[in-house]
Amino acid sequence: MRRPGLAGLGVNLAGFLLALWAAPRLPGLWRALFPEIARPVWESQGWFALLFEHLLLALGAAALATLIGLGAGIACTRGAGRRLRPVFDAAFALAQAIPPVAVIALALPLLGFGAAPTLLALVLYSALPVMRSTVTGLDAVPATVLDAARGLGMGSGRILARVELPLALPVIQAGLRVAVVLAIATTAVGAVAGAQCLGTPIVTGLANGNTAWVLQGAVFTAWLALIADQALRLGLAPPR
């Protein structure tokens, strides 16, 4: 088999979906694990609906972070943009240094409750790895290859698309993987702002002293992030 990890990923994913399906159907298990809690089964929303909302938020944020990080990374490796590089570096590092939960709290008065402040926090949090990896990848393209490309009469747009980005791709992909996994793991925080996601049972459980809900939300969030990491590792082109 060309991708030996594919079977492992399939098993993991099937196990995850099965667990999501089974969670509300096993009241006996939860009562046994949490005998002191009156309603240990999470029934407020369906797990699959939460999963869908969670993925929508996380992947939407990762896509936006990719656009911004890639654009900034490309901009500050050429022409006049080179002088902006320290500024970009500092801005993106600062954006990641602020905890997402703080971003949400600060954005609440402006953006209100729900998905919007969560999206903002996730984008700020995951744009840095994309930008860093883009800059690193583009910097590593040998200057002699660029000299040859220019000398043969390739324009700068073509050099970027046909030479620089393909050569930088393995490094950029590694940054994308980090961004996606960060976004998926961090989306749970959005529940604080009322965004529907796998973090909702965690926040609700914390508010109500229901550790059974907290545990279920936490396990499924972490599990999903692991699956995403596994899948993205498989999806990477093997370095030539």
Residues contributing to the site for another protein (CB under 8 A): 142, 144-155, 158, 163, 166-167, 240
Residue 153 CB, nearest distance to another protein (Å)?
A: 4
Task: Supply the minimum distance, in Å, between the C-beta of residue 156 and another protein.
Answer: 9
Residue 171 or 191 with smaller CB distance to another protein: 171
Smallest gap from Cβ 69 to another protein, in A, equals: 22
Return the SS3 of 44. Answer: coil
For another protein, give the closer residue by CB, 49 or 145: 145
Q: Concatenated DSSP letters for the chain?
A: ---TTHHHHHHHHHHHHHHHHHGGG-HHHHHHH-TT-S--S--SS-HHHHHHHHHHHHHHHHHHHHHHHHHHHHHTTSGGGGGGHHHHHHHHHHHHHS-HHHHHHHHHHHH-SSHHHHHHHHHHHHHHHHHHHHHHHHHTS-HHHHHHHHHTT--HHHIIIIIIHHHHHHHHHHHHHHHHHHHHHHGGGGGGGT--STTHHHHHHHHHT-HHHHHHHHHHHHHHHHHHHHHHHHHSPPP-
Cβ proximity to another protein, 38 vs 143, nearer residue? 143
Considering beta carbons, is residue 63 or 167 the nearer one to another protein?
Answer: 167
User: What's the angle, vertex CA 202, arms to CA 199 and CA 204, rounded to 5?
Assistant: 105
In the complex, minimum distance from the CB of residue 178 to another protein, in angstroms, rounded to a whole number: 23
Nearer to another protein, 70 or 159 (CB): 159
**In the complex, least distance from residue 57 CB atom to another protein, rounded to whole angstroms:** 35
DSSP state of 238: P
Least distance from another protein to the Cβ atom of residue 155, Å: 5
Nearer Cβ to another protein (78/94): 78
